[in-house]
C-alpha cells in the first residue's frame, strides 16, 4: 500500500486537478505505476506519449491508458509515428462501425499500431473476426473489442474465432457463463493461449474456485461473471512471458509479444469500462 500511495502522490504532482489521468482510470493508472521499478520515469514517458496522442485525438478518459501502453512497448523516438498510426487505425475502425467505435477503442488502436501488419490488413482481420463472432455474441461493443484482441494474435480469423466460441460454450456447459459485456475481450486472450481446451477450462475453473473463497469474491462480493473474468486474467498472466510456459516452448517470441499486447489491451479496456460503470452508478445514487 505504501507504493500505491507514493504513486498516487507522483500522479498528483505531475498532472492537473482536471486531468484525465485523475478520472475514472486513476486507480488502474496508479496500480500500473506501482508495479514498475521506476514509476516517475514511466509516468514521464506516458505523459510524452499523451502529448503526441492529443495531437490526433480529443481528450478522453481512455487516452491515458493508451499512452501508458505505447510508452511501455516503444521508444520515445517513435511516439509521434505511433500516435499518427493509432489515429489512422482508429479512423478505419470508425469507418466500419461509426456507432460502435468510441474512446475506449483508442486503447486497442494503440496496440494494433504496434503490429507488423499494415493498417489495411488490421482493418480486414478485425472486421472478419467481428462478422464471425457476431453470429454468436450479440453485444456490438463487446464483439468489436473481442475482435480487436483476436486481431493481435496469430492464426486465421476463422481459427481464432472458432476457438473462442468453443471455449465459451465449454465453460457454459460446465455451469460457468463468461460475461459477454466488457468481460468478453479477456476471453479472447484465453483463446489465444497455446493450451488444450479441456486443460484450459479445468485450470480456469480451479482459479475461479480459489477466488470464490477470497474476501470480496464470494457470494456477497463481485458477481460470478466478473470473478470469472479476473480468474481468466490471472490464468493468462501466469502463462504469458514465462520461460517455462507453453507459450515460450511452443510458440515464437513474436507470438508471446502479441499475447502480452492482447492481455494488456483487454485488461485496460475491462478495468476502464468497469470503473466508468461504477462512477456512473455512484453519481446516480
Residue extents of the structural domains in the chain:
1-114, 117-280
Q: What is the pLDDT of residue 245?
A: 42
Q: What is the pLDDT of residue 61?
A: 80
Burial of 40 (0-12, 13-18, 19+ CB in 10 A): middle
CA triplet 7, 271, 186: central angle to 5 degrees? 130
The grid coordinates listed for 269 are: 479496456
Cβ pair 54, 62 in contact under 8 A: no
Q: What is the pLDDT of residue 114?
A: 84
Q: What is the pLDDT of residue 248?
A: 32
**Scanning the structure block, which residue is given the C-alpha cell 482508429?**
90
Q: What is the pLDDT of residue 268?
A: 63
Q: What is the pLDDT of residue 202?
A: 97
Q: What is the pLDDT of residue 277?
A: 56
* pTM recorded for the entire structure: 0.81
Per-residue pLDDT of the chain (285 residues; tens, 9 = 90+): 789 999 999 999 999 988 989 887 788 789 889 988 899 999 999 999 999 999 999 888 888 888 988 898 889 999 999 999 999 999 999 999 999 998 878 888 888 898 888 999 999 999 999 999 999 998 888 899 899 989 888 889 999 999 999 999 999 999 999 989 888 888 998 998 888 999 999 999 999 999 999 888 876 777 888 899 889 988 888 876 554 443 433 333 344 455 555 666 666 666 656 655 555 555 454
Residue-by-residue DSSP string for the chain: -HHHHHHHHHHHHHS-TT-GGGSTTHHHHHHHHHTSS-HHHHHHHHHHHHHHHTTTS---TTHHHHHHHHHHHS-GGGHHHHHHHHHHHHHHHHHH-TTT--TTHHHHHHHHTTSSS-HHHHHHHHHHHHHHHTTT---HHHHHHHHHHHHTSSS-HHHHHHHHHHHHHHHHHTT----SSTTHHHHHHHHHSSS-HHHHHHHHHHHHHHHHTSTTTSTTSS-HHHHHHHHHHHHHHHHTT-TTSHHHHHS-HHHHHHHHHHHHHHHHHHHHHHHHHHHHHHHT-
**Scanning the structure block, which residue is given the C-alpha cell 466478473?**
226
Amino acid at each position: 500500500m505504501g507504493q500505491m500511495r507514493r504513486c498516487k502522490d507522483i500522479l498528483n504532482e505531475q498532472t492537473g486537478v482536471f486531468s484525465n489521468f485523475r478520472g475514472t482510470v486513476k486507480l488502474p493508472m496508479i496500480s500500473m505505476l506501482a508495479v514498475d521499478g521506476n514509476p516517475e520515469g514511466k509516468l514521464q514517458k506516458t505523459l510524452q506519449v499523451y502529448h503526441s496522442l492529443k495531437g490526433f485525438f480529443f481528450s478522453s478518459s481512455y487516452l491515458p491508458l493508451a499512452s501508458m501502453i505505447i510508452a511501455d512497448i516503444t521508444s520515445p523516438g517513435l511516439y509521434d509515428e505511433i500516435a499518427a498510426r493509432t489515429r489512422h487505425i482508429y479512423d478505419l475502425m470508425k469507418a466500419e462501425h461509426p456507432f460502435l467505435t468510441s474512446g475506449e477503442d483508442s486503447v486497442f488502436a494503440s496496440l494494433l499500431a504496434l503490429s507488423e501488419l499494415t493498417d489495411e490488413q488490421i482493418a480486414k482481420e478485425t472486421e472478419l473476426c467481428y462478422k464471425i463472432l457476431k453470429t454468436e455474441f450479440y453485444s456490438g461493443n463487446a464483439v468489436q473489442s473481442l475482435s480487436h484482441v483476436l486481431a493481435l494474435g496469430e492464426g486465421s480469423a476463422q481459427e481464432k474465432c472458432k476457438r473462442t466460441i468453443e471455449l465459451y460454450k465449454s465453460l457454459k456447459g460446465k455451469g460457468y457463463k463468461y460475461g459477454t459485456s466488457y468481460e468478453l475481450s479477456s476471453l479472447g486472450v484465453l483463446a489465444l493461449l497455446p493450451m488444450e481446451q479441456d486443460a484450459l477450462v479445468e485450470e480456469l475453473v480451479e482459479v475461479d474456485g480459489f477466488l470464490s473463497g477470497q474476501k470480496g469474491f464470494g457470494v456477497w462480493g463481485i458477481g460470478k461473471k466478473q470473478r470469472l473474468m479476473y480468474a481468466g486474467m490471472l490464468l493468462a498472466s501466469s502463462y504469458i512471458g514465462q520461460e517455462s510456459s507453453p507459450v515460450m516452448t511452443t510458440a515464437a517470441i513474436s507470438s508471446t509479444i502479441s499475447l502480452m499486447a492482447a492481455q494488456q489491451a483487454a485488461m485496460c479496456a475491462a478495468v476502464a469500462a468497469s470503473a466508468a460503470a461504477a462512477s456512473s452508478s455512484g453519481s446516480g445514487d
